[in-house]
């Protein structure tokens, strides 16, 4: 998709601003490196001295160089065995930060009447806290198995399936639209990695945030500098 620079560090393709925020009814966010500043799986791995190994797999997956996302996540989670819940809480408290403009964008969307969905290839240990912190309406993420206060290196199957990958993100966005009685064209999807492309592809407005090249190329809005709330520059309330 051929893009043009709308403002420094903000590119658009296939749209003519200003768009109306009130024309949309749902905004869906990826979590790691989009709504928040870290890749949680990499930081958890740091607690057992495996960050470099895990981060290399994460980067390859986000670039779209790994075809089987589920298997790549299982490999990474296996390396997390032994990390304690106390260490997980420490990561949340000391390393995890909302990305600039995250709270402002969520607040603006809620004020305009949009529902907010958080879909993550990360983990419920963090998505639940972000949900409560920002007042998010719906979430989907992976659940780490815990025994005796520590991770087992496995994930728990949930009622909807085993792993939240790109296909599941798309399914959850479409399911939430159906639940709300809206068309997917009334949804906004924001992400940074290859596993966000399926949901971005079915949403009315796709937004890349400091994203991998393949994601920037396919997004209708690409935020390449500044915070998440730069989306509001192409919107009017």
Any domain includes 190: yes
Any domain includes 119: yes
Task: Say which CATH number the domain at 104 has.
Answer: 3.40.50.1000
Alpha-helical (H) ranges within the chain are: 40-46, 51-63, 69-78, 85-94, 102-111, 124-134, 166-180, 197-202, 213-218
**Which residues lie closer than 8 Å to 125 by C-beta, 6 or more apart?**
85, 88, 92, 144
Any domain includes 47: no
Per-chain mean pLDDT for the chain: 97
Average pLDDT over residues 29-54: 96
* Residue 66 φ then ψ, to 5°: -115, 120
What is the number of helices (H) and of strands (E) in the chain?
Answer: 9, 11
Domain count, the chain: 1
Average pLDDT over residues 3-26: 97
Any domain includes 77: no
Query: Domain range for residue 120?
Result: 4-37+98-236
Instruction: Give the residue numbers annotated as catalytic, written as ranges.
Output: 30, 32
* Residue 75 φ then ψ, to 5°: -60, -45
Model pTM score: 0.97
Any domain includes 49: no
Any domain includes 24: yes
pLDDT at 191: 98
pLDDT at 236 over 90: no
């Amino acid at each position: 998709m051929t893009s043009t620079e709308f403002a420094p560090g903000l590119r658009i393709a296939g749209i003519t601003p200003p768009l109306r925020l009130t024309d949309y009814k749902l905004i869906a966010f990826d979590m790691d490196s989009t709504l928040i500043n870290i890749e949680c799986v990499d930081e958890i791995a740091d607690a057992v001295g495996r960050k470099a190994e895990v981060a290399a797999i994460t980067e390859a997956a986000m670039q779209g160089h790994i075809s089987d996302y589920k298997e790549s996540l299982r490999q990474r989670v296996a390396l997390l065995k032994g990390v304690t819940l106390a260490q997980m809480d420490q990561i949340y408290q000391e390393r995890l930060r909302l990305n600039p403009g995250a709270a402002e964008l969520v607040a603006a969307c809620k004020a305009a009447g949009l529902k907010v969905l958080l879909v993550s290839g990360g983990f419920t240990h963090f998505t639940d806290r972000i949900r409560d912190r920002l007042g998010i309406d719906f979430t989907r993420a992976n659940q780490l198995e815990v025994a005796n206060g520590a991770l087992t290196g496995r994930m728990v199957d949930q009622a909807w399936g085993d792993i939240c990958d790109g296909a599941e993100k798309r399914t959850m966005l479409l399911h939430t639209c159906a639940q709300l009685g809206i068309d997917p064209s009334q949804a906004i999807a924001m992400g940074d990695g290859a596993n966000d492309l399926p949901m971005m592809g079915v949403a009315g407005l796709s937004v890349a945030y400091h994203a991998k090249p393949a994601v920037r190329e396919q997004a209708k809005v690409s935020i390449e500098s500044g915070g998440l709330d730069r989306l509001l520059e192409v919107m009017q309330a």
